[in-house]
Amino acid sequence: MSHITKNILRGVIVAAVAIILFVSGVQVGFSYALRNFETIRCSSMEISPKNILQEVSYYRYKNNLGPVVSHDALVKYSSARSEEIIKDFNHKSAGVLPDFNNFIKNNGFSSGIGNTQMGEVIAEGYQNACQVVQGWDKSQTHKDVILNGAYRFGGVGVKYADNRIFVVAVFSN
């Protein structure tokens, strides 16, 4: 049995015990199990584009927003941007890629009212997908991007270099 499977099984057992305790009137066990299950869930969530987008959608759900759906053009852009930030960790493209405005015009993004929005968040050095999103939550600017209710589409790029993980997520409407 893999390490991840054992952790998930352990979390399910703890949750089941907590439910039994809750039903029998011991509510402390239930809140403990929920915290423990969240810790186990996050610790086994490797950093991948799919997991980052899933975790962003979960974070948006907890904030009463809809999910973001993967879009091929945004995936392509974020993947190329993740290559760039290995060399220069900032939000300004190194010139290899078109800027956001040209990108959105050339890829048909539109909100239906002639105004397209796009946002980017970047991260480096985290151990799992939950930590990446939790890190973005600690920055008001990044949080504003992730919780922008107009965004419906997303793309995530993940690159590994020098024993570090670099993540770029872009969102648009």
- pLDDT tops 60 at residue 92: yes
User: How many whole angstroms separate alpha carbon 166 and alpha carbon 85?
Assistant: 7
Q: Give the per-residue pLDDT at 124.
A: 95
pLDDT tens-digit readout, 117-155: 788 999 999 999 999 999 999 999 999 999 999 999 999
pLDDT tens-digit readout, 20-75: 555 555 554 445 545 555 666 676 678 999 999 999 999 999 999 999 999 888 89
pTM for the model? 0.71
Q: Give the per-residue pLDDT at 161.
A: 93
User: How many whole angstroms separate alpha carbon 7 and alpha carbon 46?
Assistant: 14
Spatial contact of 78 and 168, defined as CB atoms under 8 Å apart: yes
Residues of the chain with pLDDT > 90: what percent? 43
Structural tokens at position 73: 């053009």
The continuous run of DSSP H or E covering 122 comes out as strand 118-124
Q: Give the per-residue pLDDT at 35.
A: 56
